[in-house]
Each structure stands twice: as structure tokens, then as C-alpha cells.
Structure 1
């Protein structure tokens, strides 16, 4: 691949520009007359085009160039950014994203973009763009007009214009070779030899050097000056073996002048390089309200995720050794050793904080994809929805960020499909015609909370109970004892759905149970609050990081286990006579609330050290609004531990989420407390 050493940088920057295109197009849809937004979109498209052309991704460069043509008309106020124009631009971005994804997956980034290019050209020409046009065989000539998109130099333009004045034909010729062609360079030589009998080749794309070195796929273009007819040229070229297709388009004086105009546009945007950097020129203008941005003076560098993962793995080993040194220091009771270990512990804790901070990524990375998704869904469902994003700068560990995207999509689709009413319904209810979905993220302690709130119809308690009875999720006797929170929690039962009509958006009974499972696997939880007729709010609680966590170490028999502090309410020691039996279950009265006891030695089949003890050591854990007391043999104390996976062979182990290596080299299993609360 051309410039393969820059591929990673190209992919990173392409993703940033595509996101900027999406965000600014959504902003332009709200404020069509804001020229500064159009300029931002134009700059992103222009930069992406230049990068793609440099890397040799022609389809990508060609499509972004046609987008530029449309955007230039909008910023010159020759065309309005109405719904049709924006729909075509959004469709073009979809194709750009598909090509970039293909390149990231190891592909060549090629894609049939004739249809969307034709739509963009129709926008420029002022024609209707109701839907994607069907590309016919005659449209194949559209493909070779990409040669117009690259700027001819001054000498080439002069030659071509003079040729036209002297009644020569200027032809753009696209030659397609057979897939089985073994000696592509030889076929190129035969094509050039044939053409030179009838005229002069002015330019080749790729260049003649690249063609000779076979640095092209199966297609190349030439700009050719001749007095022969197009049919004669086509017939002679098709007589060459392994040439399967020849497309020709005549280049007129008007089209050449259009090329010059496009070159002029690009030169107006780009200034000469200064200090080794390409500077994008911005027109001097007064800042518009709400469009001012603070300039971050901090310098940053790009670091690959693999390097951060390696650094984290090395530090995890250091944490294990730190625990071992602390244990040795305690046993030997040597003052100098204790002081040294204490100092090393302080430094390693600071280092731990820095490394964890380096792995933090703003949730904006996930949130950015949602405005576009909601725009498409609202059109599909014929609803008016406004998405408000608050706290997008809130940071989470990269491993968590990678996992939360899909479950959040489920919740947002659920909100717009089940929650937000149609425009007619909202008018009848006296609500604003445009519904609002608020996506909010914020830090609280060692957790990040993400909330999805809508001002829709809310959750009907009676409908949920009725459906739960039908599905056998609850019994009649339990209904009166269920709080609103517990009723809404039934929505997360497997296969549960209150939708009367199944749609592609939601209503198949899959989604919310998967959402809960995913968040709980990350050490988090999800809950829902709702007021009928006013709206609902889904609240997700997530830990800041999964790599190094705080735990309470406990003993069961001769074995050690770890319980994450995030799920612990408090620890306690109670007398055995304070334990009661209710419905064949042992419970205690904890601060006025009856909570069940879970005897871990029974759960994990471990012999207890002292079954005749008069007191029980308890860890009170919480999951949502449910609590339980874990009965253990001994509480050891709080520790920082490194979370290690059990591997691909030890799967579906009940109530165990991983393992850790303690300072003495012993392995301790990490308890999944969520699995112990029913």
C-alpha cells in the first residue's frame, strides 16, 4: 500500500474528520445560515480529500471532492442547506465511513460510489435528489471524470486548451484490465504504443512511473489529445488482449475551466507551509455567539493502545511485587526495610494514578455517534426529538468505553421508540412538539454515572405487572409487595417486552436484559425511574477502571477470596442468636431492613474453620436497591489487587469474576457479588 507507514495516522485523523463532519452537519441542520459551520465542514472534507489522495485512496478522494463542490455552493450562499441537500451529504459520509472501515480492516478502500457521486453532481446542477439514482452501464463514464478532480498543472492546461482551439479532441480514457492479467506493465505499454499512433498522451493517472512499476490495481486513466474519433480509439484499444473495458469521455473547454476554478478554490483555502506545517486559512470574521472555542495550549502526542496495555501489564506485576514486599516487611519488622517499602508504595501509588489517568478516555468518544443515530430514527418513526448531551468530557477507562456503546444504543432506541410520543400525541397532551432525550455523564466518588432521561410517556406500572404475570416472571402473591422500583426492574427480565407491536427499532424482548448483563459484567449496575406521562430515566453506575481495583480480602477455610469494595455497604460482626429464619431462609435485621444471608462456604463448597463460633463475620453488599449479607470466616482487610481473567477455558463459573495474585504468591478468586443477590 502507498505510504503504508502513515496508515495508522491516516486512520486516526480520518475518524476525527468524519466525526467532525457528522457533528457539524447536525449543527448546520439546526442553523442553516451559519456560514462558520459550513466553513468547518468544508475544511474537514478538504483535509480528508488531501489525506486520501496522498495515501492513494482514489474513491475516497473523489467522493470528498464532490462533497466540496456542494459545500462551496452553500458557503457562497448559492444553494440552501435544506433537508434534501443534507440527506445527500449524510449519505456521502456513510460511504466515507464504510471506506475508512474497509481500509482499517486491511482492505483497499474501494467502493462503488457512482450513485452518491451522481446525486452530489445533481445537487450542484440544481436537479432533484429524492433518492439514490440507479447507476446504469452508460453511467460508467462518470467514473473517469475523477481525472478532472486532480489539478492539471499550468503547462498541461495550456496544452489542452490550445489543442481544443486547434480543433483537436481531448479525451479522458479509462482502461480496465482483466483480473487474470499477469504482466500489467506490458499491457500498459501496449496501450500507450497504440495511443501514440493516433495522438499524444498528456497525462497518466497513476503516473507513468507507477504504471511501469505496476503500482496500480486493474484500472488506469490517460488524458489524450487526438483527431481520431472516440469509436476508433475504443476499438483499437479493445483489440489489445486482456483489456476488458474502455470508457471515454470528451473534455470540453468549459470542463477545463471548471478544473481551473476548483484549483482556485483550493488555493484560496490553503496557505503556503510555515514551520513545516500546513495552515488552514480562516476568513477574518467576527466570532458568532455560541461558536467560540477555547484553545488548549497543552501539547499532546499519540500513543498506541498496545503500548499503554503493555505499560499497564508491567505495572500490574509491580503491584503484585509491592504487596509481596509489604508482607515481607511486616514479617521481618526491619525499620530500614519498612521505611523503604513505605516510600516505594507511595511512589507506586502515584505512578498507578498517572497510568490509570493515561488510559482514561472521554465518554464523548461513544456519545458522538448518537446524534446522527437519533436523527435517522426520528425520521423513520416520524417523531421530533432533540438530543441533549451533558458531561461528554467525563472520562472512563478505555476497556469500559469499548463495551458500553452497544448497551447505550439499546437504551436510546428504547427511549425514542417506547418513550417519546408522536408529534400529534404530544400536541394533544399539551407537551412541546419536539421531545427531549438527555444523555448525561458525571463522576461521583470512584464511579461514573450515565443517565438517559426522556420527557415521554413514562412506564405504565400496570402494563408491566400484567406482562410479568403472563410471562411467569412474578406471581399474584408478590404484586402487592413490589415497590415501583422493583416493578420497573422487571423490564430487565430475559425476553420481557411491553411492546404491542414488534418493530425493527425495539419490541422483540431482547435488549434490556442484555443491557443489564453487560453493565454488571463491568462491575456496574443499571436502574430505572419513571413517572407516568412525564418520562423515564435509566441510570447506569460504572467503576472508573477494571484493571486495578480495591477489594476486601476474606478467608473461607484455608482459601482467600476478594470482594470488590464498590459493592460493599459495610462490614459487621453479629451474634448467631440475631439470625432469624423466614420462609426457610436465614435473615437478619439490618438497620430496620430484613436482608438474607449468603453462606459463602456453602456456595463455594469450602469447609468452615470454626462452625461452632458464637459470632458471624458479615459483609453487607448491595445491588441496586437489593441487599444481602455474605457470611465469611474472617475479614483480612482492604487491598489493591490486579484483576486477572480466568482464561478462555474456565467460563461460566458461578459468582466468580476473575482472580488475582497476592503478595505471598497465593491466588485469590474475586467474587462477583451481583450474582449472589437474587
Structure 2
């Protein structure tokens, strides 16, 4: 491996190839649904070819070999010599897995593990045309030339192939006068460097035989231009004289005739063959005429006519509008912005207490600038959720094949942006949820048919921004959840006794799927049945200060909704006072706030409750949990109640005082306080004091 190569080149390869490989996974699954999409076939061919080219430059031979074999398969497919089927896609996807594995080894500076020989052999077998799909109209000599070079990139032909083609054409037409180039042709076959060129007459005769006599003769306007004879004096290339130039379309057609439709190197993104490169040299006067005609001032001299081309060269470097920045540096900048937010909060508190008008204006301006800076820095950390969504077509495809189900994945809102750390953190929970929808939600094709549904089930993955939060939903049109089955399983697992299970609402039953060790599957498989996946999802979403909710309808399907904040660094909170201590409640958990006469509470099942708009909320005096109360425990007549939500549950917290809404920067707790139940971290308030940030689910789980 050439890891001694320039590190900047290696990093460029990792960035470019990483993006291409992410797209390839999605494109390959899409190709299975649309096997005749020629644009998609060409895009996949170019993807493998580009990765191969970068790997070849870095001398990553194992990666080059695997990409090359996969590339050959798509060269055959895009030339319509083989059809896409599931077995072919299985082999190609396995090849992509090996390419991804080697790519990770390159990223980690490890020795590459070559793809298995059996896989390469399978790819090479698929890179040959199917017997029944070979075109009978193709000349045997052309087929032989193609078979001799199955790995040729982009459809280019070698000198030997071209000589064979000329010989075959001349042999097939004995009536034509043989050009006096046979010695030269023979010399070319022997490898002579200077004698393998063909004359103008030979090339003209070849074109005439392929396309009809006289189609490529120079136009009279070109032949009559004085000085054209002088231009023919330099040594000719394979295209012949400059007055015999052919257009791009004509050259493409010639290559199609030689190699079959789609074999043109330009389709695969490759450089054109030598005859095309000669064209720009022979045509500078034609290229300049349009520039000279609209500008009369440019006519006096040749210098003026060349001048307009110069600014384009000067501005060319400006096309690079991006710069690579280490994510650690972005994290450092975000931390500094967080500190600036704290200083702004402090100054706002001091400014409110001051009567100086200039002080008020300065603090107001600082507030505006800090908010804009915070927004700009957050944008630099934002990534489209497509980074996560891109892996799901492959996940659904593989899982559906293993379960013998027919599943279509639909994705919406892939361009929705959220914090880089959230993109990475959401990856595993979403994989669990999508797999769960395919495994538990979507029924087998026969079962769906009996229920009057289409054989193919649909899983819909969508994302949208709602204020300072992201809403993610996973829908399926499967069988839905049966609350009675969930109640029975809860009793069997010992989560609830029978009486408590009978009192559960349907929504509470649906949320049982997130309980640790809970599973509705009777048999454990490599896909599900152990009851750990959904528990992990709930824990992870809770760590992100997010919420989970479940909706379902028997026979129609289920929906799981995730609500997470846009960023983890700065959190909007509701500041409250318990005694003389400050606490911060994440605003995402707060539903409503009201003032209440606590003498009008009720006792239900031994727990204090309040009734608001005919809804019953359990009431908790969090001051008794979090503050060492030296005074009496008498309940005050009036208090503030904050209704907080965790998923579908809502409870009331009794607090002494409401300070107001404030954006806070989350700081981790010190070693002595780490793991304290109900605490998510700490922050510095606007008045300079330290406030603990309450983790509502953890607080209720521990104390409630």
C-alpha cells in the first residue's frame, strides 16, 4: 500500500470515495427496482471506475482489482449484453461490502484484505455476455476483439484491434483497390513506433465502408480556404489531414459501430480516443470567431482577440469554494460560542438592572450578534439526515430477501439538516426501528394477499424540522399491534400483574415494546426475538433529550415518532427555583405551566393528582427529592405546576418559583456527581450561579 503518498491526496481520496460508496449502496438497490435505467447503470459504472482510479493512484491493488471486476459487470450491463437479476445483485452487493471493508482499512491505515477469489471469479463470470443476448448482427471479428480484452475501460480499442479491423474490411471487399499501406500495417503489428499510422486514404476508405461513400468529405468551404494545403504538411495523426475532421457525433457513431451501442468512452466518463484530441488544435480560428464578431473593438490586432480568454484563467482557482476543517476544531468553536452565550446571559441580567440607556443598546446589539454567530456556527456542524437514510435501502433489501418478504422503502425529507453528532447518534436507533418494521410489521406476501392488501409492503421513513426540533417517523402498512397480545406478554414477562395490565390504555400497551427484555416473538432468530433492540432505542433517544411515541391500528400498520433537538450543545430550558436553588428543565419536556390551588388535589391509588380540563395528572413535589428541606413539610396553599411529558406520559411538577426561559450550555458533571439520578448535567445561569439540568425520565424512574 502506498500510504507514503501525500497525505492531502489520501484525504481527498477518502472524502471523494467515501461519498461515492455511500451513493453506490443506494443506487444498487434502486437499480434492482429499475433494471433498465441506463442513466443509473452509467452512474454506477462511473462510481466504481472513479474509486478504482483513485485507488490505482495510491497503489491500493486489492481495492483496484475488486472495483475493476465490478466495473466490468456494469460495462456489460450498460451495453445490454446481460440483464439485471437478484442473483447478479447479490454478487455485486457482496463486492460493494468488500470494497467498503477495504476502504475502512485504508482510512485506518491498515493492510488491505483482498476480496475472496470466489467473489472475483463470480464477478468475472458475470462480466461475460449472456449467450442468448449476444447480438447476431455484430461482426465476429469485433466480438473476438472484445472478448480478447474484456477488461478494457470505457470501450477504447488498441492499435492491434484497429489493424485487425482494417485487415478484415479489406479482405471482405476484394473488388476495392487495396491501399498501399499493407507494409505499414504489417510494421504496425510488429510494434514499430513510427510506422503504425494509417494514411488519409485508408481512413477515408474505412469511414466510407462504415457509413457510406462521401459522408465525411471536407466541405467546399473548408477546401477552398487559402492555405489549407499548407496545413497538411505536418505529420498526420490517425485522423488523417485537418481538412478531414469529423464531428463529435460522427466519432461517437463510429465507436458505436465498432463496439456496440453505449461502448463510447465518453459515456463512462473516460478521456476520448486520440482522434478527438486532435480537433481543438485544428480549429482555433473557428472558436475565436464568435468572440470577435460581437466585439468590434477586438478586431485591430491578434492580441486583442486573445485577451478575453485571459480573465477566465485568472478566475479559475476561485471555483474551489469549500475548505476541509477538522471536526474537533468545529467542536472547539462551538464550545467557545457556548461560553459567549453564558456571558451574554449574564450581561442581559446586569443590563436589565441598569438604567443606563447606552448599556441597554450595547447589550441588545451583543444579543443580536451572539444569536447570529450561534446560528452560523451551528450551520457549519449541520449535516443532511440523508447521511443516515442512505444506508436503509440496502438494510431493507437484504432483510426482506432473508425473510422472503416484498418490501418497498419510501423516504421523505432526506435534505433535513441536524447536528453532526445527532446524525451519528441516530444511526443505530433508526436501524433498529426500520428492521423492526420489516420483521414485525410487514406481513408475508401470501398473508397480505389474503387480507386484500398488495403483496408488497411499504415502509416510509420521513424527517422534517419543527421549530428547534427534528421529527422522524417510521411508518409501515403492516398488521399493526394488538393491545391484548401486548397485555398478555407483559403479564407473562412479569412487567405487570393482571389487574394493572387490564387498566393499561392502548397507547400504554404500544409503549411496552420499549420495555427491557420485551418481545412479541415466540422464537428467537438472528433478526429479532431477544427483546433488546427497542430498549436500546429508548435509552439512546433519551440520552439525546428526545421523545418516542407509538401509534398503531390493527390491520393497517404502525407509526413510531421520534422528536429530537436540532443540536446537543445549547439547550433551551425553563429555569425554576426549588427553595433557594436553581434548576433547569429542558423545554422539550415542558407542555404547559399554570398556577394552582393545591388544596383542590385528589388522591387516586394513593397518589396525589390534579384534574385539568378533565384530564388527570399525577402530582410530584420535586423539592422533596432534590432539596434538603430544613423546614416543615406543610403543603403551601398555592404553587406553580409545570406539566412535563415523557413520550405519552404527562405528570405535574410542583415548583416554588418560575424564573423564565433561558438558553444554557450543557456542562458535564464532575466525578463526584457523575451518575446522580435525575441529573443530565450543569450550567451557569444569567446571575452567575450554577444550576443543575434535570433529566426528567431518569428523575421519575428513580424517585417516582
TM bracket, shorter-chain basis: 0.7 to 0.9
- CA distance in 2 between counterparts of 1:349 and 1:149 reads 53
User: Deviation digits for residues 472-502 of structure 1, max 9, x if unmatched?
Assistant: 2122222443221011111111101110111
Output the aligned Cα RMSD.
Answer: 3.3
Distance 2:561 2:10 in 1: 39
Contact 1:28 1:37 (8 Å CA) reproduced: yes
Distance of 1:424 and 1:617 partners within structure 2: 57
What residue is the counterpart of 1:59 in the other structure?
62
Match of 1:387 in 2: 409
Quote the residue 1:80 is aligned against. Answer: 83
Contact kept? 1:362, 1:392, Cα under 8 Å: yes
- 1:622 aligned to 2:645? yes
For the pair shown, the structure with the greater C-alpha radius of gyration is: 2
Cα-to-partner distance string for 1:508-566 (whole Å, 9 max, x where unaligned): 11111111111111111111111112211111111122211111111222321100111
Aligned partners of 2:683, 2:34: CA distance in 1, in Å? 54
Asked if structure 2 preserves the Cα contact closer than 8 Å seen for 1:3 and 1:55, the reply is: no
**Alpha carbons of 1:70 and 1:561: their partners in 2 closer, same or farther (altered >3 Å)?**
same
Quote how far apart the aligned CAs of 1:85 are: 2.1
Superposed CA offset, 1:173-217 (max 9, x none): xxxxxxxxxxxxxxxxxxxxxxxxxxxxxxxxxxxxxxxxxxxxx
User: Could you tell me how far 1:56 is from its partner in structure 2?
Assistant: 2.3
Residue deviations 1:29-75, cap 9 Å, x none? 11211111111111111111111111221211221112121111111
**Please, which of 478, 486, 489 is the counterpart of residue 511 of structure 2?**
489
Unpaired runs of 5+ residues, structure 1, are: 129-144, 167-262, 274-296
Which of 394, 401, 416 does residue 423 from structure 2 map onto? 401
* Count, aligned residues: 543
The answer as to 2:465 corresponding to 1:462 is no
Cα offset for 1:586? 1.9
User: In 2, distance between residues paired with 1:43 and 1:387?
Assistant: 25
Choose the corresponding residue for 1:447, options 452, 464, 469: 469
Deviation at 1:627, TM superposition (A): 1.3
Q: Is the 8 A contact 1:419 1:456 kept in 2?
A: yes
Aligned to 1:71: 74
1:394 & 1:367 partners in 2: Cα distance? 11
Match of residue 651 from structure 1: 674
1:364 equivalent in alignment to 2:386: yes
| Pairs within 5 Å for 1:41-440 | 41-125=44-128, 265=265, 269-271=269-271, 300-440=322-462
The aligned counterpart of 1:20 is 23
The answer as to 2:590 corresponding to 1:568 is yes
Change in 2 beyond 3 A, CA 1:349/1:588: same
Alpha-carbon offset, residue 272 of structure 1: 7.8
1:508 equivalent to 2:511? Answer no
CA distance in 2, matches of 1:608, 1:638: 29
Identify if the C-alpha distance between structure 1 residues 605 and 77 changes in structure 2 by more than 3 Å, giving closer, same or farther.
same
Structure 1 CA distance for aligned equivalents of residues 27 and 433 of structure 2: 25
> Secondary structure at the residue paired with 1:536?
strand
Q: Deviations over 1:94-117 (max 9, x none)?
A: 001001111222313343443322
Normalized per residue, which structure has more strand? 1
Give the structure-1-normalised TM-score. Answer: 0.74
2:555 partner SS: coil
In the other structure, the counterpart of 1:212 is none
Match of 2:662 among 639, 644, 652: 639
Deviation at 1:153, TM superposition (A): 11
- 3-state DSSP class of the match of 1:269? coil
Q: CA deviation at 1:87?
A: 1.7
What residue is the counterpart of 1:198 in the other structure?
none
1:90 and 1:336, CA in 2 relative to 1: closer, same or farther beyond 3 A?
A: same
Aligned to 1:125, the other structure's residue is in SS state coil
Distance 1:106 1:318 in 2: 39
Determine the structure 1 residue equivalent to 2:10.
7
The separation in 2 between residues aligned to 1:266 and 1:433, in whole angstroms, is: 42
Distance in 2 between the 1:558 and 1:298 partners?
Answer: 56
Alpha-carbon shift at residue 648 of structure 1 (Å): 6.4
1:267 deviation in Å? 10
Give the equivalent residue in structure 2 for 1:40: 43
Match of 2:684 in 1: 661
Q: CA deviation at 1:389?
A: 0.7
- How far apart in 1 are the matches of 2:670 and 2:14? 32
SS at match of 2:127: helix
Relative distance call for 1:539 and 1:147 in structure 2 (3 A) is closer
Aligned to 2:520: 498
State which drifts further: 337-346 or 300-309: 300-309
Structure 1 window deviating more from structure 2 (74-83 vs 381-390): it is 74-83
Q: Which moved more, 1:470-479 or 1:94-103?
A: 470-479
Paired with 2:685 and 2:501, the residues of 1 have a C-alpha distance of: 46
Per-residue deviation, 1:341: 0.9
Q: Which residue of 2 aligns with 1:220?
A: none
Shift of 1:127: 8.5
Higher mean C-alpha displacement, 517-526 vs 367-376: 517-526
Per-residue deviation at 1:162? 9.6
* SS of residue matched to 1:415: helix
Distance in 1 between the 2:187 and 2:461 partners? 61
CA distance, structure 2, for counterparts of residue 571 and residue 320 of structure 1:
25
Distance 2:392 2:407 in 1: 12
Q: How does 1:585-596 map to 2 (within 5 A)?
A: 585-596=607-618
Task: Label 1:267 to 1:594 Cα distance change in 2 as closer, same or farther (>3 A).
Answer: closer
Counterparts in 2 of 1:298 and 1:111: CA distance versus 1, 3 Å? closer
Question: Which deviations, in whole Å up to 9, do the C-alpha atoms of 1:8-38 show, x marking residues without a partner?
Answer: 3222211211122222222221121111111
Residues 621 and 630, structure 1, Cα contact 8 Å, conserved in 2: yes
Structure 1 position 575, deviation (Å): 2.2
Q: Secondary structure at the match of 1:468?
A: helix
Tell me the equivalent position of 1:285: none
Q: Write the distance in 1 (CA, Å) between the matches of 2:153 and 2:538.
A: 51
Aligned equivalents of 2:150 and 2:542: distance in 1? 51
Deviations 1:337-377 (A, max 9, x none): 12101111111112212222222211111011010011111
TM-score, length-scaled by structure 2 = 0.72
Instruction: Tell me: CA distance 1:390–1:149, structure 2 relative to 1, closer, same or farther (3 Å).
Output: closer
The alpha-carbon deviation at position 264 of structure 1 amounts to: 8.5
- CA displacement 1:225-248 (0-9 Å, x = unmatched): xxxxxxxxxxxxxxxxxxxxxxxx
User: 1:104 and 1:649 mapped to 2: Cα distance?
Assistant: 38
